Structure 1
Amino acid sequence: MNISKLFLTLFLLISATNLSFSQNKKDKVSAQKEFRYTNPITRDSTISMRDHFIIKVDDLWYCVGTSNPVWTGPNPGVRMLVSKDMINWKQHSFIIDAKKLPKDTPYNGRFWAPEIHFIQGKYWLTVNSGKVTKEDPKGMSTHSIWLFSADKVTGPYKLVNGPLTPQYNNDSTLFEDEDGQVYLYCSGNGLFQAKIDLKTGKLTTPIEKFLDKKQPGWPEWMVGGIEGPFVIKKEGTYFMFFSTWTRGYEVGLLKSKSPLGPWELASPEPIFGTRKKGYRTEMAKENGYDKLFFTDTEDPYQETGHNALFIGPDGNLWNSCHYFMYEKRPYPYSQTFEPWESGPQMGIEPVHYKDGMFYIIGPTWTEQIIKY
C-alpha cells in the first residue's frame, strides 16, 4: 500500500469513529427526558385536600389525603386521586365512603391524614378518625388510628383493627425495617412510636411519646405544634420528617441509629416550608408564642407541610405536601385570588440526599424543569 492510500484509509477510519461518537452523543441527548411542573400541581376546588400522600403503583400515581370540610365536622371519607403523569390528577374513588358506612361505625368522623403503604405483599391503609355523636359532633373524643388492608391499592379495604391506641392520636404512618419489623409512628400533642404486628393490627410494644412540642432544650419553632411523622432509612440512619405550624407550616427532620430512637434533630432549622408572620396570629397569641422573631419566606404560600416521600417521574425520591396560597402575599405573584386558592392543593418537589443529610429545595411556585 502506498503512502497516499495509507493516509486515505486512516482518514476514513477517523471520520467513521468521529461520526459514530457524534451519533452516540446525539442518541444520548435525544434519550434524555425532562419533567416540567409548576406548583401547586392541582388547582381544582373539587379535589382540594390536605396532607397529600402519594404512592406509585406500576405506571400510575395514587394520592390520598384529608378532604374538606377539615375543621367543622365529618368529611366524606378517604378520597383517592389518580394520575398518569404526576401533573393531571382526577378523582378515582372514595376508598372509604362515609355515606356507605353503617351508623354505628366507630370511625365515621373526620378521616384525617390517610396513608397507604405496600408492605409484605399487601396495601395497608392507616386512617385517623373517631365516632360522631350528638355530644361529640366532630368525633374528637374518640379520635385515634384505624388499620385497613387490601390486595390492590384501589381496594376494597377491610378493617384489620382499631383504634390502635387508647388515647387521642393522629397522623399515623408505617415503616418496615430491613428485618421485616414494622413500626407505627403518629402525633397527638407530640410524636409517638411503637412496634406493630400488621396481621393482627396490634401494637407489640406500648405506644411511647418520645418528643413533646415544648421539649426542654429544643427549638422555639416547634412550640406551636408538631405532627405528621414520616420515616425512611438511608445508609444505616433512620430519618423522621415531621411538620410544625408554629411560624406557618414547616418540615423538620430528626435522625437516629435505631427505629425507636433516641431521636435528635438532623438540622437545627426546618429543612423545608413557609413562614408568614401574618398567618394564625390569633392562635400564636392565644398560645403564647406570638413574640417569636422570624422573617417571611418569599413564596406565595401560608402552608407547605405535612409531607411524605414517594417515587417521582424520574425514579427518584420526591416530596409531597399540601400547598396553601397566602391571601396577603405582598409580591406580584397574582393580583387575583382564584377560587381554587381558598383551599389546600397538592405540591411536589425533588428530594436530595448528600453527605448524610436530606434536602428539599423550595417550596417553588414557578415552572421547574427536571432532566433525567
Structure 2
Amino acid sequence: MSNNKILIVLFTFLVSFDMSCKSNPESIVKPESETETEEKANQDYFEYSNPQLYNSIDDGNMFRDPCIIKEGDTYYLTGTRWPHFEEWGVVNGTAIYASEDLKTWRLVCNPVTRPEANGLEWWKYYFWAPEMFVDNDKYYYTVNCSQNGPGGQLQEVALFVADQIEGPYTPISVDKSIIVGNDAHIFKDTDGKTYMFISGITGFEIDLMTGKIIGDVFECVKPTSDQGEWTSASATGFEGPYVMLRDGIYYLFFSTWARGYEIGYATATNIKGPWTMNSDPIYGSMNEAACARTGTTYESGYYENDFVESGHNTVFSGPDGRDWIVAHVFAQPFTGGYLENHVEMAFDPIEFRAGKIVVFDGSREVKGPTLGIKRILIEN
C-alpha cells in the first residue's frame, strides 16, 4: 500500500472515531481528576476531637456518666449534672440536651427536678447517672437518687416515663424506689422481655408499666483477682453496666476504679449468663495516684491517652452508622477535689467481632479513648 493510501485510511479512521465520540459522549474516558471529584461529592467527613469540652452544657460544666441516644437526625445527651456530688453543692435534678452534629448542644428539658423537702416524693438528693431508653413510642428515664441528705448516700433507682423525649416525665413509682442500687440501665431482649441492670453487677427482669421486678435478681460479674489487678476484689467495685446484643452474643460493659477508671466487658449467650469477662479493659485511663492508693501496678503507655480518669460508658449510633462508645474523662490531675477538675467527654467508633470489642482510631485498633482531632469518612 502506498503512503498516500495509508494516510487516507488513517484520516478516515480518526474522523469516524471523533464522530462516534461526539454522538456518544459516555464513551469518552473521563480524566482521573474529574472522576475523583465526582466520588468526593458523594463522601463527607465527621470531625471530632477528644477530649470534648462543651461550654453550652451546664454553663460549661460537662456531664459525668454521659448517655447518648439518636432519634432521627438528632442526638440526645443526658448525664450526672454539675457539681456531680452532693457534698460540694446541690444538684437540682437532671437535664437532656440535643444536637444535630454532636458539637453544638441545646437544652430541651429537665426530666427530673428536685422536689420540695417536705414533698411526698422519695427521691430527694444526688440524681446520678440518668439514662434514656425508648420502647413502643414511650421514653423511659432512669436516675439514681437518695432519700437521705449528704452523708447518707444510699442510692435507689427511680423510673420515669414520657410520650416524647422532651417530656413531661411522670414517675412510675412515687412512694418507693424500684430497687436499692446505682447506675440503672434498661435492656430489651429479642423475646420482648425487659431487664434492668445495676452496679454490682446484677440484673433482673422488670415490668416497665409498673416498675415491678419479675423473678429473682441474678448476678452477672463481680470484682475478682482472677482477671488481674484492674478487677481486684480488694481495690475496686464494678459499676456503670451497659448491655448490647450483637450477632447472638450479649456484651456487658462495666467500669472499675482500681487503677484510675477503666471500662471492661463480659460476654454471654444468655441474658442471665453465665458471663465471661474479657481479660483486659478496652477503654479508660490509668493514673499513678490511684494505683498508689489501691496498691495496684501502674502500666505506662497502656492506653492511647494520658487522661486521669475515663469511665462509665454508654453506646450510641454514630454519624457513620457504626456503634460508638462514649464516656466521661478528666484530662488534668486531681488537685484537691472534683470541683477543681473539669470533667469532659470522649467518644470513638467501636466494632463487635465474635465476642470481642474493638476500638478504632481511624483504621487503627487502639485502647481508647483516642486523643486529638479525628476525621471519620461518611458515605452518602
Query: When the two structures are superposed, what TM-score results if normalisation uses the length of structure 2?
Result: 0.83
2:315 maps to what in 1?
309
Question: 1:368 Cα deviation (Å)?
Answer: 0.6
Question: 1:14 Cα deviation (Å)?
Answer: 7.7
Say if 1:191 and 1:209, in contact at 8 Å, map to a contact too: yes
Please point out which of 71, 88, 96 is paired with 2:104.
88
Q: Which is higher, the Rg of structure 1 or of structure 2?
A: 2
Whole-angstrom distance in 2 between the partners of 1:101 and 1:371: 51
Question: 1:95 Cα deviation (Å)?
Answer: 1.5
Deviations 1:234-288 (A, max 9, x none): 01101111111111111101110011110002x3110111111123744x2xxxx
Whole-angstrom distance in 2 between the partners of 1:359 and 1:4: 58
RMSD between superposed Cα atoms in Å: 2.8
Answer with 360-369 or 347-356: which moved more. Answer: 347-356
Question: 1:178 Cα deviation (Å)?
Answer: 1.5
Whole-angstrom distance in 2 between the partners of 1:23 and 1:107: 63
Whole-angstrom distance in 1 between the partners of 2:100 and 2:116: 29
2:150 maps to what in 1?
137
Residue type matched to 2:110 in 1? F
Question: 1:90 Cα deviation (Å)?
Answer: 3.5
Say if 2:201 and 2:239, in contact at 8 Å, map to a contact too: yes
Say if 1:114 and 1:126, in contact at 8 Å, map to a contact too: yes
Whole-angstrom distance in 2 between the partners of 1:110 and 1:30: 49
Question: 1:315 Cα deviation (Å)?
Answer: 2.4
Aligned length: 347
Whole-angstrom distance in 2 between the partners of 1:27 and 1:178: 42
| Secondary structure of 1:269 counterpart | coil
Question: 1:64 Cα deviation (Å)?
Answer: 0.8
Residue type matched to 1:184 in 2? M
1:27 maps to what in 2?
38
Whole-angstrom distance in 2 between the partners of 1:42 and 1:89: 11
The within-5 A match list for 1:169-180 is 169-180=181-192
Whole-angstrom distance in 2 between the partners of 1:122 and 1:24: 47
Question: 1:22 Cα deviation (Å)?
Answer: 7.3
From the superposition, tell whether residues 350 and 195 of structure 1 become closer, same or farther in structure 2 (CA, over 3 Å). same
From the superposition, tell whether residues 179 and 10 of structure 1 become closer, same or farther in structure 2 (CA, over 3 Å). same
1:279 lines up with 2:285 in the alignment: no
Answer with 20-29 or 88-97: which moved more. Answer: 20-29
Question: 1:94 Cα deviation (Å)?
Answer: 1.9
From the superposition, tell whether residues 364 and 97 of structure 1 become closer, same or farther in structure 2 (CA, over 3 Å). same
Deviations 1:87-126 (A, max 9, x none): 1223333211115686342111111110001112211111
- Unpaired runs of at least 5, structure 2: 1-8, 361-367
| Secondary structure of 1:207 counterpart | strand
1:348 lines up with 2:347 in the alignment: yes
2:242 maps to what in 1?
230
1:209 lines up with 2:219 in the alignment: yes
Whole-angstrom distance in 1 between the partners of 2:339 and 2:220: 38
Whole-angstrom distance in 2 between the partners of 1:8 and 1:341: 75
Question: 1:193 Cα deviation (Å)?
Answer: 0.7
| Secondary structure of 2:112 counterpart | strand
Say if 1:197 and 1:203, in contact at 8 Å, map to a contact too: yes
Whole-angstrom distance in 1 between the partners of 2:130 and 2:190: 24
Whole-angstrom distance in 1 between the partners of 2:263 and 2:132: 20
Query: When the two structures are superposed, what TM-score results if normalisation uses the length of structure 1?
Result: 0.84
Please point out which of 266, 270, 280 is paired with 1:269.
280
1:366 maps to what in 2?
372
1:63 maps to what in 2?
77
Say if 1:301 and 1:325, in contact at 8 Å, map to a contact too: yes
Deviations 1:45-104 (A, max 9, x none): 724221000111222211111112333445211122222210122333321111568634
1:107 maps to what in 2?
123
